[in-house]
Amino acid sequence: MTLDSYQININEQKELDIRKEDLVEVLKFYVLFSDITKLSFYEYNYEVNNFTYDFSVDSQNKLTEESDQINMEDSAYSIIIEDSNTVYGMITFNENPGSTDIANKLLEKIKVILRKQFKIRKELLLQESTLDIYIISDEKSKHFANLLNENLNVQLNVNIKMETSVASIADILKEKIKKSILIYTIEDISLLKLDEGILQLLNEVLIVIGPNNYDLSLFCGHLDVYKYLSKEDFTPEELKNIIIESKNKLHNKYINKNKIIALSGISGGIGTTTASMNIANLLAKRNPEENILYIDLSKTKSISNLFLDKNPLPKKTIIDLVNSNEFDLEKNLENGLVKIRENFFAINGIQKHIDGEFLEQPVFIDKLLEYISIVSSNFNFIIIDTGEADASALDSTIYDISNELWILTEMSLPHISKLKTFFSLMKRAGLKDKLSFIVSRYDSANAISVADVTSILNTANEDHLNFNFKLPNEYSILGHSWNYCELVTDTHPKSTYVQTLESILIAKKLYKKEIKKETKSISWLSFLK
């Protein structure tokens, strides 16, 4: 939150306090002019769809806010304060308040105060909202969509926007800044057919409200629609519950398409963490329909939290997180999981060198394997930064469960000598086919040629090491990003380093198609007429 937005929140909270004082004063007058001994005020809570006790006032001008002494059912009379489609609150009494001109005017004044409170509170909550709802409708269901918009605006603390096609918001959805829910209100299959190409490249929660039609339901199944609701049986309350249910879940339309990639460096300081963080970031940016998880398994003090979480000392790390026996997004976010963007998450590595010993304990490794197994259905790519490559129990386990193992090395004698030993170990373990080699800083002054390296390794033909992937030593850009704890893929997306990373991902066929605004069927502009 910026300082400006923080100041706005303070000002709005002050305004709410003033409205509360006004409400109390007017209700005191209401008690006086209605000749009753006491009343209680209940605010309407849309999250729980119920009235919540706020305070009581009596004929002695006494204000009470102790809810444990109040029971709504004990009151014989009540007045609900509402507009045509918005409930603000309720007043309860034990005596009949009667009806006088003054009392009625006071009730109108109370309604005005509560209406202002409602608007202020809604604006305040919208600033903190992490959810956007897009209602996309065809021409025939536009009236229904407008009514739905009014209802959801009252019931939920979210941003709601009306659209005629997903094409106009594809670029926004691709950025994955917020969680988005798409609600289609349709009378036939035309609009879904029109948007089919884009919807297949998105991973948003998709809800369709339409006629009770078997063919339409089948087509929605083909699109992996989260919920299909028949207009005949539709209720706003059901839709509200679906939205709340999905709000705190990590949606994954491509649940069976997951891949674990481990990155290790032949030595420390070779650039493994820089490469793995930026690879994860690129995958999340280029593949908005897929969820990416970056796991920091460095056995020395982690630094990825400085780049991803902007947190110099996280209170929770991977040690806390693996004790979870389920993937509950809210709980995990409190225990070491960090949300970078809507489809990009990271797990904080250890913050004390002494914790490195704990990572090698069998109990931790077993819990880590269990956790990865649980979360793998939620993430399409899991990028694991293991730090320096070795034959430890932890690294051996990660190498075994990974689909691919990318090893970073430099073209220097010490690194190549160690690489030869490591390759022999991987070959004996049956992991040779998983290996890919990335040459870091290949253009450094002390780098030796690939031909010389091949000669030094003296490997058999079937064990030939391929060094096709080479990262440049773009120090001016990488050094700046490192000093300011920034991802180079964010700050210098056109740099040679980033373009080289992208070429690796393309060669590995890990990039998906771009989201195109063009469609092959009827132009969506026709729906605007």
Strands 179-185, 205-210: pairing kind: parallel
Q: What is the pLDDT of residues 189-203, one digit of tens each?
A: 999 999 999 998 889
CB atoms within 10 A of CB 52: 14
pTM over 0.85: no
Q: Among the residues of 402-520, which ranges form H helices?
A: 413-428, 450-457, 475-483, 488-491, 496-507
What letter represents residue 120's amino acid? I
Question: What count of residues does the chain have?
Answer: 529
The Cα–Cα gap between 229 and 387 comes to: 49
Q: Which of 505, 529, 275 is nearest to 407 (CA)?
A: 275
Beta bridge partners of 207: 183, 227
Domain 260-493 = CATH 3.40.50.300: yes
Residue numbers of the chain with a pLDDT score lower than 70:
1-10, 46-49, 66-73, 84-85, 122-129, 445, 447, 450-464, 512-529
Strands 337-341, 344-347: pairing kind: antiparallel
Domain 129-249+520-528 = CATH 3.30.1490.20: no
pLDDT at 2: 38
pLDDT at 41: 93
441: left (phi over 0), alpha (psi -120 to 50) or beta: left
Q: Which tokens in the block code for residue 169?
A: 């918001």
Q: Which tokens in the block code for residue 116?
A: 């202002």
The Cα–Cα gap between 15 and 17 comes to: 5
Mapping DSSP onto H, E and C, the string for 332-379 reads: HHCCCEEEEECCEEEECCCCCHHHHHHHCCHHHHHHHHHHHHHHCCCC
Strands 344-347, 292-296: pairing kind: parallel
CB atoms within 10 A of CB 457: 15
Helix 236-247 with 142-155: angle, nearest 10 deg: 60
Strands (E), 192-333: 205-210, 227-230, 259-265, 292-296
The Cα–Cα gap between 234 and 196 comes to: 24
The Cα–Cα gap between 118 and 141 comes to: 29
The Cα–Cα gap between 182 and 199 comes to: 10
List own/partner pairs for 487-492 with CB under 8 A and 24 or more apart: 487/277, 487/278, 487/281, 487/307, 487/308, 488/274, 488/278, 489/278, 489/281, 489/282, 489/285, 490/281
The Cα–Cα gap between 62 and 56 comes to: 8
Q: Among the residues of 129-213, which ranges form H helices?
A: 142-155, 170-175, 190-199
Helix 496-507 with 272-286: angle, nearest 10 deg: 70
Mapping DSSP onto H, E and C, the string for 422-448 reads: HHHHHHHCCCHHHEEEEEECCCCCCCC
Alpha carbon distances (Å) from 475 to 136, 478, 498, 501: 47, 5, 13, 15
Q: Which tokens in the block code for residue 278?
A: 């930026």
pLDDT at 283: 96
Which are the contacts of 496, defined by CB distance < 8 A and separation ≥ 6? 472, 474
pLDDT at 4: 39
CB atoms within 10 A of CB 416: 19
Alpha carbon distances (Å) from 102 to 62, 89, 93: 21, 20, 18
* Secondary structure class of 98 (helix, strand, coil): coil
Q: What is the pLDDT of residues 416-453, one digit of tens each?
A: 888 888 888 888 888 988 999 999 988 776 767 766 66
The counts of H helices and E strands in the chain are 19, 18
End-to-end CA distance of the chain: 41
Strands 63-64, 50-58: pairing kind: antiparallel
Q: What is the CATH number of domain 18-126?
A: 3.30.450.40
pLDDT at 235: 86
Alpha carbon distances (Å) from 183 to 76, 272, 278, 494: 42, 42, 33, 36
The Cα–Cα gap between 156 and 148 comes to: 12
* Secondary structure class of 132 (helix, strand, coil): strand
pLDDT at 458: 61
pLDDT at 488: 96
Q: Which of 136, 132, 225, 150 is nearest to 187 (CA)?
A: 136
The Cα–Cα gap between 4 and 330 comes to: 27
Residue limits of CATH 3.40.50.300 in the chain = 260-493
Helix 362-375 with 393-401: angle, nearest 10 deg: 20
Residue limits of CATH 3.30.450.40 in the chain = 18-126
